[in-house]
Amino acid sequence: MKKQKLVVVGNGMAGIRAVEELLKLAPDLYDITVFGAEPHGNYNRILLSPVLAGEMTINDIILNPLGWYADNGIRLHVGKTVTKIDRTARKVIASDGTEEEYDRLLLATGSMPFILPIPGRDLPGVISYRDIKDTDEMIATAATHKHAVVIGGGLLGLEAANGLKLRGMDVTVVHLMPWLMERQLDKSAADMLKTSLEARGLKFLLEKQTEALIRGESGRVCALRFKDGLEIPADLVVMAAGIRPNTALAESARLYCNRGIVVNDTMQTYDPRIYAVGECVAHRGIAYGLVAPLFEQAKVCANHLANFGIARYSGSVLSTKLKVTGIDLFSAGNFMGGEGTDEIVLNDPSGGVYKKLVLKNDTLVGAVLYGDTADGAWYFQLVKDAQNIHEIRDHLMFGQNHVGDVGHAGKTLAATLPDDAQVCGCNGVCKGDIVKAIKSQGLFTLDEVRKHTKASSSCGSCTGLVEQILASTVGGAYTPADTRDKPMCGCTDHSHGVVRQTIRERHLITIPEAMRYMEWKTPNGCPSCRPALNYYLISTWPGEAKDDPQSRFINERAHANIQKDGTYSVVPRMWGGLTTPSELRAIADVADKYKVPTVKMTGGARVDLLGIKKEDLPKVWADLGAAGMVSGHAYGKSIRTVKTCVGAEHCRFGTQRSMAMGVKLEKMLFGMWSPHKVKLAVSGCPRNCAEAGIKDIGVIGVDAGYELYVAGNGGIKTEVAEFLCKVKSDEEVMEYSGAFLQLYREEGYYLERTCHYVARVGLDHVKKIVVEDATKRKELYERLLFALQDYEDPWQAAVAKPAVRREYEVIRIKEVAAEVVS
């Protein structure tokens, strides 16, 4: 049977995705010819910004190399622009005279950058930002010139500005609107984004209208003038002020166009032999410029080209993610809200976190996330599916892991996603594609899934979701990436183990020094790697490495736990759960003075003051410090509590003085920073009223001394502590416990609990060092005491001398105010 002829005009992401989908459905139906105006194979245009930033290369973003076309029998014309469609003769003609006949024609001509109609727009040094050629010119210019101006504060403009800044240029972003990315962000999120980018050295001029570009003596652009008369230097001007559907070819063929090539729900134009997909298309009056809708269109188009005739495209709900390393930003749906909608907002400027969820009639209709985007995919799916969220409304702000067992919405995201849900936006891979590849190819690892589907192989933001799908599909056969080899984050190829080892072997003591030596991909790191680096430095070189407060999480910076309404929780320490009337009186006075709405006993036998305003934190801690109380570190990756029963001091069953032992341990460990939170418990007898069996270290009194248990966890998944050894005296409890914790501090990965650390290295490894080798045990214990010897609670130190108390309050208030601004 003679094959039909399919001609594709456009070698971009949408057109070639349609071809890929068609080859899956009907691989032998067509002889396929593709025209591409660029001299390249198909590449991932949305990853041009990481190429500009120096994080990737052109080869990294090629989707289909030239060999792929030959392997699939596709005739490819590169560097040829189609200039005419002869609908009567059913053929296309390129600018060099090349002609190809068609039975079906697919137009995927994309879009054209909008160039401001101002004097000087044709000068050398004035470019758009759309393709590899533009990117190469920007990289070359950055090597020889200093001043860059990006016109447009949207998604593309900010990515271009960040890349040019990383290339060493002085960059100013000019934007006509009152805030950045006004189509994707509300003003609060945009203000935080602007603050973060300014911290990277970018400059912004908002609500500015460009009047002209000025020619320099060399003949290229040298400056930019605004309508208010202000001029700024510009060796390079990047126009990123929007795009327009490229409809010139379609219009010349008298196809109906209206803000794009008009198509129906099957992606047909008004000529039934001609289809169109991508940025050139207007569907139901909307032209889409993001990749996810274009891939949806491509799938529908392929279905009809294959003569299946059952798919329909009804439009898309959009989501946005900024591709600037170290900045987490996500928006989806109707995030601006309006009449008939409710909003749930968490706004923590100093912590760099902003979340806004827009609800209507018990459904989530939009979301904006800044700083913490881990649940973006989950929120996006709730928006797309219009799921009823009434039962989880009170927990919605805290993400998928906090909604509990509430039916469909409480399952893992991998379980709730339909097969056609897009998982990887960079490469347009749906859940069904991943599941099919896993089952048909027998895949068991993330790397195998990446190789066969391309999911998670680009920006990496979907990696967690891909791993969820892999685990849910193959069950117990899933082989997770080895944490010893898995990179810390996207900023580096090094694992936690390699980073720790390098810091120790090369005696690195600062974050910039560590990043330079280990060739970090980004200049400032990200919220994942900076806290880890900071911990590894101060735990490896105590006394030499300086703690960097700005590389800590917001709770540790604020010295309190942020709550869902933006207020804070303060928990003063009560050694071993013991307190005094004067301490209780001080807590009551603080609760009255600062109108604390909730006072609660914690599970660790301490008092929690909930609902304190951030601006009151310095004064609250000063008042508590005046009474001799110090922080309970309820917010920290540190020693939290040592829970005790009343023990032999009071209990008729007690065999050991558990309260005294608990106080000794807690005071010894005060100020100990660790990979994750650490909790201890001391029970005075085997009845174990202090629940020592589910603590990081559990101490249980027996007739002959104490039994020590390690690596317990009472969290989401309860882990029973494992028996370590028996000891005879209080001094041995402290030495063995201290040695174990120091070993954990030196070998544990950041955010790894003791139960996971012991599971990784093995209890035998721990026993060999802590129990069997007395020399190593004592060395570990001494290193712990050395690291903690100079620790002083900052609030206690400030109020030790009444004369400096007021001065300290003023200084700390200014610091907190500065954090809010930054």
Taking Cα atoms as reference points, which of 661, 641, 644 lies closest to residue 706? 661
Q: Does the annotation list 645 as a binding residue?
A: yes
Q: Which residues contact 611 (CB under 8 A, 6 or more apart)?
A: 563, 565, 567, 569, 596, 597, 598
Q: Does the annotation list 257 as a binding residue?
A: no
Q: How far apart are CA 494 and CA 487, in angstroms?
A: 5
Q: How far apart are CA 257 and CA 591, in angstroms?
A: 67
DSSP 110-170: -EEEPPP--TTTTSTTEEE-SSHHHHHHHHHHHTT--EEEEE--SHHHHHHHHHHHHTT-E
Would you say 321 and 425 are in contact if contact means Cβ atoms under 8 Å apart?
yes
Q: How far apart are CA 563 and CA 225, in angstroms?
A: 47
Chain centroid, CA 187 distance in Å? 21
Print the SS3 string covering 398-411. HCHHHCCCCHHHHC
Helix axis angle for 763-770 and 754-761, nearest 10°, is 90
Taking Cα atoms as reference points, which of 458, 326, 453, 331 lies closest to residue 48? 458
Q: How far apart are CA 284 and CA 276, in angstroms?
A: 14
Centre a 10 Å sphere on the Cβ of residue 91 and count the other Cβ atoms it contains. Answer: 16
Q: Which residues contact 695 (CB under 8 A, 6 or more apart)?
A: 643, 679, 680, 681, 709, 712, 714, 721
Q: How far apart are CA 714 and CA 368, in angstroms?
A: 33
DSSP bridge pairs for 126? 237
- What DSSP character marks residue 229? S
Could you give the residue ranges of the DSSP H alpha helices within 522-646?
A: 529-540, 554-558, 581-593, 617-626
Q: Does the annotation list 689 as a binding residue?
A: yes
Phi, psi of 454 (to 5 degrees): 75, -5
For 127, 595, 658, 737, the CA distances from 780, given in Å and listed in that order, are 60, 45, 24, 10
Taking Cα atoms as reference points, which of 55, 51, 48 lies closest to residue 526? 55
Pairing between strand 697-702 and 678-683?
parallel
Q: How far apart are CA 248 and CA 747, in angstroms?
A: 63
* Annotated binding-site positions: 645, 651, 685, 689
* Annotated binding-site positions for [4Fe-4S] cluster: 645, 651, 685, 689
* Annotated binding-site positions for siroheme: 689
